């Protein structure tokens, strides 16, 4: 169970316990009204039973908020640790050489570099790699640390509100059984009176369309393989190139298309990486170059052919560590 799942588990447990508590309160109130006169109800139930049960409900909410905030703090610590994790020396030297000699990297070279950086688990490594992608015409689509921290703060605030404003499940009359037991609406240390109906409704359905899922997606995407998309400048360059090979009737000049492909080793990869709807006749281009029938239908390997054969060699012979020249044999 990851940390986000732990937070959800705390919320579910709190809601379940509060539903029982609110039901007990409703039953106690109904019994007291049937048994006591109005004056006795005010003096006995409202002065003794109600404060006790309201105090228990608010204490339980405070404890649940404390528990989830402890987990949010752990996530914050994880982000700080990730931020400070150094890039391994070998990868750092490779990136330094690429930058120092202003090397132009192909799509396949970027993919192999990416795998090494993802294995290092370094935030700074990701940032450096994203900058390298931009220099080579690709947009980085990984979330920044700021976007994650901002999402973490929003999730923390929304989760706390969902716990504090939870008043049970709306009944047939449109009211909530625990409305009278929950605490006042507090924000930044200021009281704004009772929670509004939309607060109670949002708290009831918090886990159904949960902001925690957005945070979880961001955290998981940090070390996920990047989806390569051409930046605006490279997209425009590719668009102009395609316009030269597709006439107004939507037909392709085959010889010109093949010449264009041969002039740029990364042409096919760049075609696949163009933003959606970037070129009106993209379907024609896709069909001509058979992009739908190539390896993009299956999961792309991040390894070059020689690396793939080296991996196969390792699987057969056990190890390639003793003889790294095996890569040069292919």
Residues 39 and 174 occupy one common structural domain: yes
Flag whether 106 is in a domain: yes
Among 175, 206, 227, residue at a domain's last position: 227
Which residues form the domain of 292? Answer: 230-297
- The secondary element (H helix, E strand) that includes residue 40 is helix 38-40
Is-above-0.85 flag for pTM?
no
pLDDT of residue 324: 37
Residue 273 to residue 139: CA distance in whole angstroms = 10
Flag whether 33 is in a domain: yes
Residues 136 and 271 occupy one common structural domain: no
Residues 241 and 119 occupy one common structural domain: no
pLDDT of residue 210: 85
Residues 138 and 245 occupy one common structural domain: no
Residues 239 and 165 occupy one common structural domain: no
Residues 110 and 199 occupy one common structural domain: yes
pLDDT of residue 212: 95
Task: Identify the CA nearest to 218 among candidates 291, 165, 152, 307.
Answer: 152
Task: Identify the CA nearest to 178 among candidates 169, 188, 191.
Answer: 169
Residues 119 and 130 occupy one common structural domain: yes
- The secondary element (H helix, E strand) that includes residue 191 is strand 190-191
Residues 211 and 259 occupy one common structural domain: no
Residue 109 to residue 93: CA distance in whole angstroms = 16
Residues 192 and 283 occupy one common structural domain: no
Among 180, 204, 227, residue at a domain's last position: 227
DSSP state of 229: E
Residue 261 to residue 200: CA distance in whole angstroms = 60
What is the tally of helices (H) and strands (E) in the chain? 14, 4
Contact criterion met (CB below 8 Å) for 211 and 154: yes
Flag whether 318 is in a domain: no
Contact criterion met (CB below 8 Å) for 73 and 7: no
Flag whether 15 is in a domain: yes
DSSP lists the bridge partners of residue 252 as 246
Give the total number of structural domains in the chain: 2
Contact criterion met (CB below 8 Å) for 268 and 230: no
Q: Tell me how far CA of residue 12 lies from CA of 18, 186, 204, in angstroms.
A: 10, 22, 11
Residues 256 and 173 occupy one common structural domain: no
Task: Identify the CA nearest to 115 among candidates 125, 102, 106.
Answer: 125
Among 200, 227, 254, residue at a domain's last position: 227
Give the CB-side neighbour count of residue 42, counting CA atoms within 13 A.
2
DSSP state of 13: H
Flag whether 326 is in a domain: no
pLDDT of residue 293: 55
Instruction: Write out residues in the chain with pLDDT < 50, as ranges.
Output: 294-330
């Amino acid at each position: 169970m990851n940390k986000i799942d732990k937070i959800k588990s705390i919320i579910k447990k709190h809601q379940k316990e509060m539903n029982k508590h609110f039901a007990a309160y409703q039953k106690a109130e109904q019994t007291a009204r049937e048994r006591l006169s109005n004056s006795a109800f005010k003096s006995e139930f409202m002065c003794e039973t109600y404060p006790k049960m309201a105090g228990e409900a608010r204490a339980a909410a405070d404890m649940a908020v404390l528990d989830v905030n402890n987990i949010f703090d752990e996530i914050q610590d994880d982000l700080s640790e990730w931020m400070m994790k150094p890039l391994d020396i070998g990868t750092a030297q490779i990136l330094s050489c690429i930058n120092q000699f202003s090397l132009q990297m192909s799509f396949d070279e970027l993919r192999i570099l990416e795998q090494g950086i993802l294995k290092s688990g370094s935030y700074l490594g990701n940032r450096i790699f994203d900058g390298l992608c931009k220099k080579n015409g690709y947009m980085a689509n990984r979330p920044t640390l700021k976007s994650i921290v901002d999402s973490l703060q929003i999730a923390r605030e929304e989760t706390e509100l969902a716990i504090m404003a939870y008043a049970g499940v709306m009944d047939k009359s449109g009211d909530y059984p625990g409305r009278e037991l929950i605490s006042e609406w507090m924000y930044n240390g200021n009281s704004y009176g009772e929670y509004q109906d939309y607060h109670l409704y949002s708290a009831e359905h918090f886990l159904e369309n949960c902001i925690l899922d957005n945070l979880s997606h961001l955290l998981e995407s940090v070390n996920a393989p990047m989806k390569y998309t051409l930046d605006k400048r490279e997209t425009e360059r590719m668009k102009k190139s395609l316009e030269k090979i597709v006439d107004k009737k939507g037909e392709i000049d085959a010889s010109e298309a093949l010449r264009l492909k041969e002039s740029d080793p990364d042409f096919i990869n760049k075609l696949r990486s163009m933003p959606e709807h970037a070129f009106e006749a993209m379907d024609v281009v896709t069909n001509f170059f058979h992009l739908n029938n190539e390896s993009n239908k299956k999961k792309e390997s991040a390894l070059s052919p020689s690396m793939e054969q080296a991996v196969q060699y390792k699987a057969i012979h056990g190890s390639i560590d003793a003889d790294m020249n095996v890569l040069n044999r292919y």
